[in-house]
Structure formats: C-alpha cells, structure tokens
Amino acid sequence: MEKEIKWWKNAVVYQIYPLSFMDANGDGIGDLKGITSKLSYLKNLGVDVIWLSPVYESPMDDNGYDIKNYLEIDPIFGTMKDMKHLIEQTHQMGMRLIMDLVVNHTSDEHHWFLESKKSKDNPYRDFYVWRDEPSDIGSVFGGSAWEYDAQTNSYYFHLFSKKQPDLNWDHPILRKNIYKIVNFWLDMGIDGFRLDVIDLIGKDIDRKILSDGPHLNQRLQELYDECFKGRDIMTVGEMPGLSLERAASITSGEKPLLDMIFQFSHISLDEVPGKGKWALKKLDLIEFKNVFERLQNVMYKDGWNSLFLANHDQPRAISRYGNVNFRVMSSKMLATILYGMQGTPYVYQGEEIGMTGVKFDHIEKYKDIETKNIYQILTNQGIPHEQVMESIYAKGRDNSRTPFQWDDSKNAGFSKGNPWLDVNPNYKDINAKNDLSNHQGVYFYFKKLFQIRKSHQVFLDGEFIPFMKENKKIFAYYRKNENDQLLIIGSFSEEKMHIEIPGKIISLLISNDDSVEINNQMDIPPYYACILRIGEK
Ligand code: TEU
Ligand code: CA
C-alpha cells in the first residue's frame, strides 16, 4: 500500500513572532487578538499551519523563550480565553496551530527554580544542574554558562542567558512534569509543537557533550511515548547541532521520534568557520548549493526536513541571501529555489511581502539580549563600534523582529501605541497594503508557488537532480518522478545571464518575470527565477 502521505509533508507553515505581528490593544506589543484579526490574511496566502512563538508567562529576558509558567498566557499577549479563541478560529478556517515548546530551560523566575535554589536538599534541587565549581563551557549568549548563586554557594548551568537555567533531563520527576505540560496543551487542541533546541535534552555536561548527547534518542522516545503517540499532530525539532545523518535517523521509519527538524547546515555558511555568527564571510553559492543537495539526498532516504531561510533568530532572507536593490525579484527567486525542494515549507512573518533587515544607528535601539551582550563583549575587547555594528546589521536577531509592516500609516499599522521595537523606516514603501495592491507583488507570487506545490506530486516525491552544479551564480535543479519532470532555476546574479536548457521545454509553471522569452537558449535578468516542465530529451 502506498505510504500514507502525512498532512504535514506538504503543509505551508507560517511562523508568527507574537511580539511583532499585530497589536490589537495599542500597548505597542503584538498580542493574540491581533493575530486572530489577521487569520484571513494567512488563509489567503495558502497557510495550513501557524507556528506560534512562545506566548507563555515570561519575564521576557529572551522575549518569551524564558518561561515562568507554561500553563498561563502572559498578560501582554492576552488571556487563556484569547488563546482558546485563536485555536478555535484557526481550526474554523481550516488551518492548524502549533506552539513553541521550550523545555531545555525555564526562566529563573519559574517556581521550580525558585525552589531549587533554596537549598541543596530541596525536592526541586535536581530539576536543574548545580555544581560546586564551574567548568569552561560558554553560554550561547556570551560569557560563562555557569552562574554563581550565594544561597547554596553553588553554580547553576545556563546555556543561554543566566535567566534561563537549563533543566536537568536526567531527573525522571522533572520529565514527568514536562509531559504533563505537553499533554495539557495537546488536550487543549493544538496541533503539535516546534521544539526549541531539543537537540540539547540529551546532554552530558560533565563530559561537555551538549548537542546530540548520549541520552537524546532515549529522551525523545519517552517524550513521544508519553505525549505524541497516537495523536494526529505535527512535531518539528530545532536541532542546530545535529548531523544530517542523525537528523535523518530521528525523522525516519514508521514511528519517527520527530516528524521533521530544523537543520542548520546552510545557516553557518556566511560565517568564518569556527568563529561564530558575528565573524562575517561572504556566502559562496557553490557551498550553499552543495549543502542543499546533501540535505535533499541524505535526508530523504526516508527522513523529512523543513525548508526555511528565515526565522526570528536569523537575519531577513533578502538581506542575507538576496539583494535589497532587487528586492521583489530576489524575494521571489529565493522562494522559488527554496520551496521547489522536497520538504515542508516554512514562511517567516514578513517574508511573504519582502520585508528586509534593519540598521538602527544606535545600539540602544536594539532589544535582543544576544545582540546587547555581544556588543558589550566585542567593544570591551577593543573592536571598533562601526565593525561591531556591521556584524549586528548582518546577523542581529532584531532584523527579523521589527514590527510587521501592514501599511504606510503610523507604526506601519502594527500598533496605535509606541512599538516595543522601532519599526523599520522603510515601511512607507515595504508593507502588506502596497504589496497586495500589486498582482505582481511578493505575496501573490508566494501564494501561486504554494498552489503549484500542492497541485504537483513531483514536489513531494520527485528525485532532486542538480543542474548547472558548477555555476557560481545559478542555483538550479530538476525534480523528477515517473510522471513529471520540472526544472527549477534561480539566478543569484545582479547581471543578465545567458543559460542553455537541454531537452524539450513543455511549459512554464511560474516565473518572476513573464517578459522573459522561454526557450532552450535563455537570456535572463538579474535574480530571475522560473519553474519549467521539461520533456524527455
Ligand atoms: O534558538 C536556539 C539557537 O540555535 C540559537 O542559539 C540561535 O542559533 C541563535 O540565537 C542565533 O544567533 C532557540 C530560539 O529560537 C531562540 O530564540 C532562543 O533565544 C534560544 O533557543 C533559547 O531558547
Ligand atoms: Ca498589545
């Protein structure tokens, strides 16, 4: 019997960063009622699943990825009633909603941690990781991963900010408490989870093994058995530290531990190897293409993967991989080469209208803890302000967190209040109202692309065959199965190019410039993209 196609294999997933999507009550902060008011905008785009970044009670040290109470909605976003209404409305419109599960760590204001730090024999002590002496493990956000606490003269472990103490997943009672939280939300009717840095829950800190630790599969198996098994849901694990092969093993087989993952091998290509994200390196398109070719071939023996270029942690895709001087063309080109591949497509809020990165003139304008920490660290090392700002302009997370640009009114129509983070000054030109007023806009191109994906089986099961593999400016590949053969072409060049296409061109499915003549010898404009149906030679 043909392998049943899981609904999430071809579902378009749209990530909402709630702080910045839509503010309904005018306090300058995005909220649940704001999201609910925009559901038809998402439905019309062709969205099947909403991935909602955290809205749980949080001190907002890391914008909600530091959770104080998993079972309550933070008042800045609204109430549990608002959340239930959002879930119900999303379902009524034929969409699904997954939430962000952040269980590698909690906030240091979570009552578990407040108890754990009280004494060494507190029942909650071993919910976290305490040692008498720190090791030399560093935090992702800079500095040591250990923080001294005088109350018990000990150090606690925090891979992220010191207000995000890591949970001790070796503790069975902790795990049981996590499963209760997961089942609480699944029983509420959400349709699954994006699992935050879930590659870390198998860590062995004393052996300094953090990602993909010795206990990872065991932890994921128990989580699956206790929570996910038997439910018609979707799970996507954020697993920055996993190899492709391990990622494939976790998402393959009859009962995958997770349905798909966010794999990061394409994310580190524009940083100096081993020096981290702030050490900038020009992207080499050949490397970029090779990573995706490996992803397409290794991952899909029988695993499954997500297709993404952007999220709330990454710079805006156009500014990073495209060209803001060819904003609309390169937005569409990136979408074409990304969503032509096999995998579940992810859109990050604003990607569908060509939103770009931001350059605030003063560091005080930036809100992200990671950016503020690195600014202090690098300038204290004597690196000039201008050089540090170049890295922040290129890689800072606030690039993708500026308020959604709905129209050209005050605050881009995001809020009647004073936005928590400044709106990108280019909102007068770049906004949903402008983009949707033009049928050649980015939104309608994404919409058509998703319609094409859903109406052609070859996107689901077609073999990935590179084309023009050695070309430094063109990303092209075939998708081929027994009934169909498509050629997906994307130019990363700001010059015109001439390309030769072998075989019989049967039809054009989509392009970002319909004035271009389609034939076997094509002259294509900068950032041109198209999908062609190709017959046998
Ligand atoms: O991000 C995990 C992760 O990989 C980050 O270290 C990311 O690569 C980095 O921020 C890029 O500069 C998840 C969440 O997506 C992120 O927003 C949180 O800050 C982090 O975990 C801690 O929860
Ligand atoms: Ca609000």
Give distance in angstroms: CA of 124 to centre of ligand 2: 35
Long-range contacts of 507-516, Cβ-Cβ distance < 8 Å, separation of 24 or more: 507/532, 507/533, 508/532, 508/533, 509/452, 509/456, 509/533, 510/336, 510/445, 510/448, 510/449, 510/452, 512/328, 512/329, 512/332, 512/333, 512/336, 512/445, 513/329
Determine the pLDDT at residue 349. 99
Give distance in angstroms: CA of 26 to centre of ligand 2: 5
Burial of 214 (0-12, 13-18, 19+ CB in 10 A): exposed
Give distance in angstroms: CA of 15 to centre of ligand 1: 15
Determine the pLDDT at residue 36. 98
- Unique residue bearing structure tokens 């392998």: 3
Q: Which of 48, 191, 238, 370 is catalytic?
A: 238
- Unique residue bearing structure tokens 């004035």: 515
Residue 466 has phi, psi (to 5 degrees) of -60, 150
- 271 in contact with ligand 1, CB cutoff 6 A: no
| Shortest-distance Cα residue to atom 12 of ligand 1 | 313
Q: Count CA atoms within 13 Å of residue 434 on its CB side.
A: 17
CA distance 235 to 258: 6
The residues, ordered by sequence, that sit 6+ positions from 483 with a Cβ below 8 Å of its Cβ are: 457, 458
- 62 in contact with ligand 1, CB cutoff 6 A: yes
Token duo for residue 16: 């909402």
- 140 in contact with ligand 1, CB cutoff 6 A: yes
Token duo for residue 314: 């990454």
407 noted as active-site residue: no
Ligand 1 atom closest to 277 (CA): 12
Choice from 140, 374, 395 to test ligand 1 binding pocket (greatest atom count within 8 A of CB): 140
In a 3-state reduction of DSSP, which class is residue 391?
A: helix
Determine the pLDDT at residue 255. 79
| Shortest-distance Cα residue to atom 11 of ligand 1 | 313
Question: Residues 100-112, buried b or exposed e (16+ Cβ, 10 A)?
Answer: bbbbbbbbbbbeb
- 102 in contact with ligand 1, CB cutoff 6 A: yes
Contact 469, 358 (CB under 8 A): no
In a 3-state reduction of DSSP, which class is residue 518?
A: coil
- 241 in contact with ligand 1, CB cutoff 6 A: no
Contact 289, 268 (CB under 8 A): no
Domains of the chain by residue range: 7-105+172-358+426-445, 111-157, 463-535
Token duo for residue 254: 């009859």
Choice from 197, 201, 236, 395 to test ligand 1 binding pocket (greatest atom count within 8 A of CB): 197
In DSSP notation, 70-94 reads: EEEE-TTT--HHHHHHHHHHHHHTT
Contact 188, 84 (CB under 8 A): yes
Give distance in angstroms: CA of 29 to centre of ligand 2: 4
> N- to C-terminal Cα distance for the chain?
32
Give distance in angstroms: CA of 21 to centre of ligand 2: 10
The residues, ordered by sequence, that sit 6+ positions from 491 with a Cβ below 8 Å of its Cβ are: 333, 473, 474, 497, 524, 525, 526, 527, 528, 529
- 240 in contact with ligand 1, CB cutoff 6 A: yes
Contact 129, 171 (CB under 8 A): no
CA distance 203 to 215: 7
Computed from CA positions of residues 535, 304, 47, 6, in that sequence, does the dihedral angle turn out positive or negative? positive
Taking the CA of 398 as reference, the closest ligand is: 1
Amino acid identity for residue 152 in this structure: T
Taking the CA of 241 as reference, the closest ligand is: 1
Give distance in angstroms: CA of 368 to centre of ligand 1: 11
Choice from 60, 63, 65 to test ligand 1 binding pocket (greatest atom count within 8 A of CB): 65
196 noted as active-site residue: yes
- 65 in contact with ligand 1, CB cutoff 6 A: yes
- 313 in contact with ligand 1, CB cutoff 6 A: yes
Contact 397, 368 (CB under 8 A): yes
Choice from 107, 160, 210, 313 to test ligand 1 binding pocket (greatest atom count within 8 A of CB): 313
| Shortest-distance Cα residue to atom 17 of ligand 1 | 313
- 268 in contact with ligand 1, CB cutoff 6 A: no
Taking the CA of 24 as reference, the closest ligand is: 2
In a 3-state reduction of DSSP, which class is residue 204?
A: strand
| Shortest-distance Cα residue to atom 16 of ligand 1 | 313
- Unique residue bearing structure tokens 């209404």: 85
- Unique residue bearing structure tokens 């959340």: 83
- 166 in contact with ligand 1, CB cutoff 6 A: no
CATH number of 463-535: 2.60.40.1180
Taking the CA of 51 as reference, the closest ligand is: 1
Q: What angle do CA 399, 404, 59 make, to 5 degrees?
A: 70
What is the CB neighbour count within 10 angstroms for residue 91? 14
Determine the pLDDT at residue 489. 98
Determine the pLDDT at residue 244. 87
* CATH homologous superfamily of 7-105+172-358+426-445: Glycosidases (3.20.20.80)
In a 3-state reduction of DSSP, which class is residue 143?
A: coil
Taking the CA of 394 as reference, the closest ligand is: 1
CATH number of 111-157: 3.90.400.10
CA distance 454 to 460: 9
**pLDDT tens per residue, the chain (537 residues)?**
445 679 999 999 999 999 999 999 999 999 999 999 999 999 999 999 999 999 999 999 999 999 999 999 999 999 999 999 999 999 999 999 999 999 999 999 999 999 999 999 999 999 999 999 999 999 999 999 999 999 999 999 999 999 999 999 999 999 999 999 999 999 999 999 999 999 999 999 999 999 999 999 999 999 999 999 999 999 999 999 998 889 889 999 877 999 999 999 999 999 999 999 999 999 999 999 999 999 999 876 678 989 999 999 999 999 999 999 999 999 999 999 999 999 999 999 999 999 999 999 899 999 999 999 999 999 999 999 999 999 999 999 999 999 999 999 999 999 999 999 999 999 999 999 999 999 999 999 999 999 999 999 999 999 999 999 999 999 999 999 999 999 999 999 999 999 999 999 999 999 999 999 999 999 999 999 999 999 975
